[in-house]
Structure 1
């Protein structure tokens, strides 16, 4: 995992990168939706509820920020977000 934090004039910028399994291109836009899980084959007792990233997006937006994800299937993902000071 790679983590980068930068302080700007009016915001803090964050970048989190992993080398995990990535997210298929057709599913990247949905990862911030409530109850959405990329791996639909997992049952609720083995995986999450699909709420984590939607909660993160809500919190980031409440601090005046925005969040984006870039991902390549089987190569990893990069989450970038900023929070206003």
Structure 2
């Protein structure tokens, strides 16, 4: 140990910095995760909005043939809303 050398403060020590390539990869991974999270949320919102519009207007693609189980879908949406605190 060098006695003549004064100890340096922690703030004066060099910091370990990630290499630029690793930082770019981490940023790309974060951007992809955010894109998929936001995109999935927007897609789910549009599907719910389209279904609610269909139910409100009473539209049927094939009149007399119920293609979607409306009661089950409404129960699932109500459970989702209550689970999310709404």
- TM-score, L = length of structure 2: 0.29
Richer in strand (by share): 1
- Please state which structure has a larger fraction of its residues in helix: 2
The structure with higher relative contact order (CA 8 Å, sep 6+) is 1
Bigger Cα Rg? 2
